[in-house]
Amino acid sequence: MLLTLLGLLPRPRRILLLLLPVLAATAGAVLGGRSLRRTKGAPGQPPAVSRRSSSASRRPSPVPGRPPAAGGPPSGPCAEDGAPRCGGTLAAVGRTAHRHRRWVLALWAVVLAAGVLIGGRVFESAGTGAQAAGSESARGSAAVAAADPAAGTVTAVVDGPRVDDPAVRSAVTDAARAVSALPGVASVSDAYGSGPAASALRSQDGRASLVVARMADSAGDAQVDAVSARLQEVQQAAPGTRVTVGGDLVLSQEVKHQTARDTRFGELVTLPVTLVVMVLVFGGFAAASLPLIGAVASVGGALLSIFGFSRIMALDTSVLPIATVLGLGLSIDYALLMVNRFREERGRGASVAAAVERTSATAGRTVAFSGVTVAVALSGLFVFTSPVFRAVGAAGVSVVVITVAAALTLVPALLGFAGHRIKAPAGPVPDDGFFARTVRLVQRRALPVALAAVALLAAAGAPFLTARAQSAGAHVLPASFASRAVADTVEKRFPQQAPAPVTVVVEAPQARAQDYARSLADLPGVAGVRPAQQVGDRLSTVDVMVAGDPQGGAAQSVVGELRGHRDGLRTWVTGDAATVVDFKQEIAHRGPPAFALVAVGTLLLLFLMTGSVVVPVKALLMNVLSLGCSLGALTLVFQHGWFSGLLGFTPTGGLESYVPVLVFAFAFGLSMDYEVFLLARIKELRDEGHSSARAVELGLQRSGRIINSAALLMVVVFAGFAAGQMLMIKEMGIALAVAVAVDATLVRCLLVPAAMSLFGEFNWWAPRPLKRLHGRVGLREHVVLPPLPSLRPHLPSLPALSSLSSLPQLPPIPQLPPHLAARLPHPRLPRPAAAAKP
Written as one letter, the residue type at 543 is D
pLDDT tens string 71-111: 333 334 444 445 556 667 888 898 999 999 999 999 999 98
Give the pLDDT of residue 107: 92
Average pLDDT, whole number, for the chain? 80
**Lowest mean pLDDT, pick from 492-496, 628-632, 664-668, 814-818:** 814-818
Higher pLDDT, 799 or 589: 589
Q: Residue 836: pLDDT above 50?
A: no
Percent of the chain surpassing pLDDT 70: 80
Q: Mean pLDDT, to the nearest integer, of 229-244?
A: 91
Give the pLDDT of residue 816: 54
Give the pLDDT of residue 638: 92
Q: Residue 58: pLDDT above 90?
A: no
**Lowest mean pLDDT, pick from 13-22, 398-407, 433-442:** 13-22
Q: Residue 276: pLDDT above 50?
A: yes
Give the pLDDT of residue 212: 92
Smallest CA-to-CA distance from 472 within 481, 464, 484 is with 484
Percent of the chain surpassing pLDDT 90: 26
Do the bridges between strand 208-216 and strand 185-189 make them parallel or antiparallel, or are there none, so unpaired? antiparallel
pLDDT tens string 505-562: 999 998 999 999 999 988 898 888 988 888 888 899 999 999 888 888 888 999 999 9
Q: Residue 310: pLDDT above 70?
A: yes
374-394 in b/e form (b: 16+ CB < 10 A) is bbbbbbbbebbebbbbbbbbb
Written as one letter, the residue type at 68 is P
Identify the bridge partners of residue 433 per DSSP, sorted by sequence position. Answer: none
pLDDT tens string 376-432: 999 999 999 888 888 888 888 988 999 999 999 999 999 999 888 888 777 666 788
Total number of residues shown for the chain: 838
Smallest CA-to-CA distance from 667 within 627, 726, 636, 700 is with 627
Q: Residue 666: pLDDT above 50?
A: yes
- Is the backbone of residue 498 left (phi > 0), alpha (psi -120 to 50) or beta? beta
**Lowest mean pLDDT, pick from 298-312, 586-600, 681-695:** 298-312
Q: Mean pLDDT, to the nearest integer, of 325-332?
A: 86
Using DSSP's 3-state secondary structure scheme, residue 544 falls into strand
Smallest CA-to-CA distance from 409 within 79, 36, 103 is with 103
Q: Residue 351: pLDDT above 60?
A: yes
Q: Mean pLDDT, to the nearest integer, of 441-456?
A: 94
What span, in angstroms and rounded, lies between the C-alpha atoms of 309 and 395? 7
Burial of 243 (0-12, 13-18, 19+ CB in 10 A): buried
Q: Residue 794: pLDDT above 90?
A: no
Q: Mean pLDDT, to the nearest integer, of 727-750?
A: 90
